[in-house]
């Protein structure tokens, strides 16, 4: 989570939303991202999306099923979709996002039938 917080701090200096993300496998950080929508003028340049791309390149695989994703802010619906597609084993986020959160706030997109979590999600306090 410290790496994700560092990325968020870097994003904040750029004048955009200060979201940060880190991908971890076997205790080692393999990818990191920060929100760069404004800098890149790309609506998909969320911290999670950039970190997922970097992790896939690092592992030479789109299947990230042995990875944990640490995110400073609850992911939006686009990011949750990508997280599920990448088969991330565990999602940890720092705070709820009442405006766009798609794990627990506005929607529960990371759930399967019977409301049991797909993978493991937890909020980091």
Catalytic residues: 48
Q: Is-contact 90 68, C-beta < 8 A?
A: yes
Dihedral sign for Cα 111, 92, 124, 79, please.
Answer: negative
68, two tokens: 């944990």
Residue 102 φ/ψ, nearest 5 degrees = -120, 15
Which one, of 14, 56, 8, 11, lies nearest residue 31 by Cα? 56
């Amino acid at each position: 989570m410290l790496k994700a917080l560092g990325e968020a701090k870097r994003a904040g200096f750029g004048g955009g939303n200060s979201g940060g993300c880190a991908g971890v496998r076997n205790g080692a950080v393999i990818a990191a991202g920060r929100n760069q929508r404004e800098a890149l003028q790309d609506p998909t340049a969320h911290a999670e999306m950039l970190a997922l791309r970097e992790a896939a390149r690092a592992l030479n695989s789109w299947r990230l099923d042995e990875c944990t994703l640490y995110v400073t802010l609850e992911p939006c619906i686009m990011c949750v979709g990508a997280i599920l597609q990448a088969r991330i084993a565990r999602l940890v986020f720092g705070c709820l996002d009442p405006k766009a959160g798609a794990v627990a706030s506005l929607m529960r997109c990371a759930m399967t039938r019977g409301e049991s979590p797909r993978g493991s999600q937890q909020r980091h306090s």
